[in-house]
Structure 1
Amino acid sequence: MFSTPAQVLRQREGALAETPFALLLHALSVEERTCTLELKVRQREKRITFEDGAPVASSSNLLHETLGKFLVDKGKLSETDYQKTLAESVSTEVPLGGLVVQKGLISPFDLYKQMQANMAMTLLDCFRWTDARYRLIADIEPPDTSVRMNTAQLILTGITNVMPFDEVATHFTFTDDRRFAQVPDIEGPKLSAKDARLFQALRFRPTFPELMQRSGMDTDSTLRRLYAFCLLGLADFVEEVDARRPASAGPVAVPFMPPGPALTPLPGTLETVEARPTGIPFSDEDEAVKNELLSVFLSHRSQDPFDLLGVPENVQPVALRKAFLALADKFSPLRFHSADLKEKAEGLLTAYARAYGALTEVEQAALWRKRRQAAREKKVNTGRPSTAEQFRIRTDLLDASTQFDEAMKRLKAENFAGAFEYFEYACDIDPKPLYRAHRAWARYLMKPESHGKLALQELQDVLKQEPGCEEGWFFLGEVSRGEGQWAQAEDAYRKAFKINPKNRQYVDLVQETMKRVKR
Structure 2
Amino acid sequence: MFPTPSQVLRQREGTLADTPFPLLLHSLMVEERTCTLELKVRQREKRIVFEDGAPVGCQSNLLHETLGKFLVEKGRLSEADYQKSLAESVSSGLQMGALLIQKSLISPFDLYKQLQANLAHKLLDCFRWTDAKYRLIADAETPDASVRMNTAQLILTGIANVMPFDAVATHFTFTDERRFGQMPGVEAGLKLSSKDARLFQALRQRPTFNELMERTGFDTETVLRRLYALCLLEVSGFVEDVDARAAKLASAPPATPAPAPIVVETPAPVQSAPQAQGTPFSDEDEKARNELVSAFLAHRSKDPFTLLEVTEDVQPVPLRKAFFAWADKHSPLRFQTPELREKAEALLAAYAKAFGALSDAEQNLLWRKRRAAQREKERGNNRPSTAEQFRIRTDLLDATTQFDEARRRLDARNFAGAFEYFEYACDIDPKPLYKAYRAFARYLMKPEAHGRLALQELQDVLREDPGMELGWSFLGEVGMGEGQWPLAEDAYRKAFKLNPKNRRYVELIQEIVKRR
Is 1:260 the counterpart of 2:266? The answer is yes
Mapped to 1, the partners of 2:136 and 2:329 lie a distance apart of 40
Letter of the structure 2 residue corresponding to residue 333 of structure 1 = P
- % same residue: 73
For the residue of structure 2 that corresponds to 1:502, the secondary structure is: coil
1:266 aligned residue:
none
SS, match of residue 126 in structure 2 = helix
TM-superposed deviation, 1:277: 3.2
For 2:296, the equivalent position in structure 1 comes to 297
Name the residue aligned to 1:224.
225
CA distance in 2, matches of 1:202, 1:439: 41
What is the one-letter code of the residue matched to 1:194? K
Structure 1 counterpart SS, 2:46: strand
Please report how far the alpha carbon of residue 27 of structure 1 lies from its aligned counterpart in structure 2 after TM superposition. Answer: 0.2
- Indicate the residue corresponding to 1:196 in structure 2: 197
Q: 1:466 to 1:123 in 2, by over 3 A?
A: same
Q: 1:127 to 1:53 in 2, by over 3 A?
A: same
The residue that corresponds to 1:126 in the other structure is 126
Offset at 1:276? 4.7
From 272, 277, 298, the equivalent of 2:274 is 277
**Alpha-carbon deviations, 1:316-356, whole Å to 9, x = none?**
22211111101101111111122111111110000000111
> Is the partner of 2:37 in helix, strand or coil?
strand
Aligned to 1:425: 424
Amino acid at match of 2:266: G
CA contact (8 A) 1:197 1:259 kept: no
Following TM superposition, by how much is the alpha carbon of 1:314 offset from its aligned partner in structure 2, in angstroms?
2.2
Write out per-residue CA displacement over residues 143-168 of structure 1, whole angstroms, 9 at most, x where no aligned residue.
22111000001000000000000000
Q: Where does residue 324 of structure 1 map in the other structure? A: 323
CA contact (8 A) 1:272 1:338 kept: no
Separation (CA, whole Å) in 2 of partners of 1:223 and 1:35: 31
- Give the match's secondary structure for 2:324: helix
Shift of the alpha carbon at 1:229? 0.5
Q: Which residue in 1 is equivalent to 2:369?
A: 370
2:469, 2:498 within 8 Å by CA — same for their partners in 1? yes
Structure 2: distance between partners of 1:214 and 1:170: 24
Q: Deviations over 1:395-417 (max 9, x none)?
A: 11000000000000000000000
Equivalence map 1:398-413=2 (5 Å):
398-413=397-412
- Is 1:491 the counterpart of 2:497? The answer is no
Distance in 2 separating the partners of 1:247 and 1:117 = 40
Which deviates more, 323-332 or 309-318?
309-318
4+ residue runs over 4 A deviation: 247-250, 254-259, 271-276
Gaps of 5+ in 1: 262-270
Q: Which residue of 1 aligns with 2:31?
A: 31
Q: Partner residue of 1:153?
A: 153
- The aligned residue for residue 254 of structure 2 is none
Instruction: Name which of structure 1's ranges 203-212 and 409-418 shifts more when overlaid on structure 2.
Output: 203-212
TM alignment of 1:161-180, pairs within 5 A: 161-180=161-180
* Whole-angstrom distance in 2 between the partners of 1:53 and 1:510: 57
2:145 match: secondary structure: coil
Q: What is the deviation of 1:361?
A: 1.8
For residue 366 of structure 1, report the CA deviation from its aligned partner. Answer: 2.2
Local SS of the residue matching 2:237? strand
- Map of 1:307 onto structure 2: 306
Question: What TM-score, normalized by structure 2, do the two folds share?
Answer: 0.95
Scaled by the length of structure 1, the TM-score of the pair is: 0.94
Aligned equivalents of 1:455, 1:53: Cα separation in 2: 41
Opposite residue 58 of structure 1, the aligned amino acid is: C
Partner of 1:185: 185
Matched, 1:339 2:344: no
Aligned residue in 2 for 1:434: 433
TM superposition shift of 1:257: 7.2
Match of 1:264 in 2: none
**Structure 2 CA distance for aligned equivalents of residues 118 and 232 of structure 1:** 24
Q: Name the SS of the counterpart of 2:500 in structure 1.
A: coil
Tell me how far 1:176 sits from its aligned partner.
1.3
Q: Is the 8 A contact 2:191 2:262 kept in 1?
A: no
Partner of 1:22: 22
* Structure-2 residue corresponding to 1:265: none
Equivalenced residues, count: 507
Letter matched to residue 308 of structure 2:
L
8 Å CA contact 1:272, 1:339 repeated in 2: no
Three-state SS of the structure 2 residue aligned to 1:9 is helix
CA distance in structure 2 between the aligned counterparts of 1:61 and 1:247, rounded to whole angstroms: 47
- Offset at 1:198? 0.8
Cα distance in 1 for partners of 2:377, 2:361 equals 24
Q: Aligned AA for 2:176?
A: D
Q: 2:135 aligns to what SS in structure 1?
A: strand
Change over 3 Å in CA distance of 1:259–1:340 after alignment to 2 = closer
Give 3-state SS (helix, strand or coil) of 1:245's partner.
helix
- Hey, what does 1:267 align to over in structure 2? none
- Provide the C-alpha distance between the structure 2 equivalents of 1:361 and 1:273, rounded to a whole number of angstroms: 50
Q: Secondary structure at the match of 1:135?
A: strand
Contact preservation (8 Å) 1:284, 1:337:
yes
User: What SS does the corresponding residue of 2:76 show, helix, strand or coil?
Assistant: coil
Distance 1:239 1:323, change over 3 A: same
For residue 437 of structure 2, what is the amino acid of its counterpart? Answer: H
The secondary structure found in structure 1 opposite 2:10 is coil
Which residue in 1 is equivalent to 2:207? 206
Instruction: Give the distance between the partners of 2:399 and 2:465, measured in 1 at CA.
Output: 18
User: How far apart in 2 are the matches of 1:375 and 1:481?
Assistant: 68
- SS of 1:246's equivalent in the other structure is helix
Counterpart residue number, 2:255: none
Question: Is the partner of 2:191 in helix, strand or coil?
Answer: coil
Return the letter of the residue paired with 2:220. Answer: T
- Whether the 8 Å contact between 1:440 and 1:458 is mirrored in structure 2 is yes
